[in-house]
Amino acid sequence: MFDFTGKRVLITGGAHGIGAACAAAFHARGARVAIGSRHQNSFEEFAARSGLAGLHPAVGNVSTQRGAEAVIAAAVTRLGGLDVLVNAAGVFEEVPIERISQAHWDDMLGTNLGGTFFCSQAALPSLAESSGNIVNVASDAGLIGYPMGVAYSAAKGGVVNLTRAMAVELARRVRVNCVCPGNVDTDMIQRAAMASGDPADYLQRARARAHTKRMARPAEIAAAILYFASDEAASTTGAALAIDGGGTAGF
């Protein structure tokens, strides 16, 4: 299912978590894959750890327009064009409202929302040429309020509506969709658990927030991203798919 033979795919944040699962999934289906990461050593560590052959580095900090343009340029140069952009680069930190600093706000909005937009903007000429598509990684925090994550929620809510706005404007050139994962068993949530002071309790509450009482696996999110990026989804654009164990569906 989902043949990407010869397709040129860039995954920002591709060295960790959901991005890494996407890299493995696209690679297994014949895609040529570029990995966006902030540092060359992150790419090299992932390439060695994953065992995936033929990966291409696309290094830069997507939280700035210039950094995003560098990532896209590296990928387009190495791949010879672009068919799919997966905006998976993201950061997360829990901070109460009273303690939110300018630096925290800028980091959450700059990477999660700004990076998604500026990478999409820079990739647009290549994607339009190939009639390609964009898949953004938003969050259930972009659909409902997330206490202790005000800046993160603002950013991911922005990603959801950015997806819709871009999909409408680009409808005849580039498809744009997003996934909205709930809690996913990645290194990001493990770091948040450690920072909480009681990792076991934090992870138990993370599982309990889903009606299925479990966290999703990164590969489950990657499977939805593969669908959005595939020819089977040719009539799908502007969609925001919650993958959250029913957490946003209701009580």
With a cut of 70, which residues of the chain have pLDDT below it?
none
250 in a domain, yes or no? no
247 in a domain, yes or no? no
Note whether 97 and 206 are same-domain residues. Answer: no
CA distance 225 to 55: 19
User: How high is the mean pLDDT of the chain?
Assistant: 97
Q: In CATH, what number is assigned to the domain containing residue 144? A: 3.40.50.720
Token pair 């493990």 is at which residue?
Answer: 190
pLDDT the model gives residue 169: 98
Note whether 188 and 69 are same-domain residues. Answer: no
CA distance 161 to 178: 10
Note whether 84 and 152 are same-domain residues. Answer: yes
φ, ψ for residue 140 (rounded to 5)? -65, -25
Note whether 102 and 76 are same-domain residues. Answer: yes
pLDDT the model gives residue 38: 95
Q: Among all residues, which ones are annotated catalytic?
A: 152
Q: Show the domain range for 190.
A: 184-215
Looking at the 3D structure of the chain, how many domains does it have?
2
The predicted-structure confidence for 52-62, as pLDDT tens digits, reads as follows 999 999 999 99
The predicted-structure confidence for 144-186, as pLDDT tens digits, reads as follows 998 999 999 999 999 999 999 999 999 999 999 999 999 999 9
pLDDT the model gives residue 196: 94
Note whether 140 and 112 are same-domain residues. Answer: yes
pLDDT the model gives residue 56: 98
Query: Residue 171 to residues 72, 116, 134, 236, 238: CA-CA distances in angstroms?
Result: 21, 18, 12, 10, 9
Note whether 203 and 93 are same-domain residues. Answer: no
Q: Percentage of the chain with pLDDT > 90?
A: 99
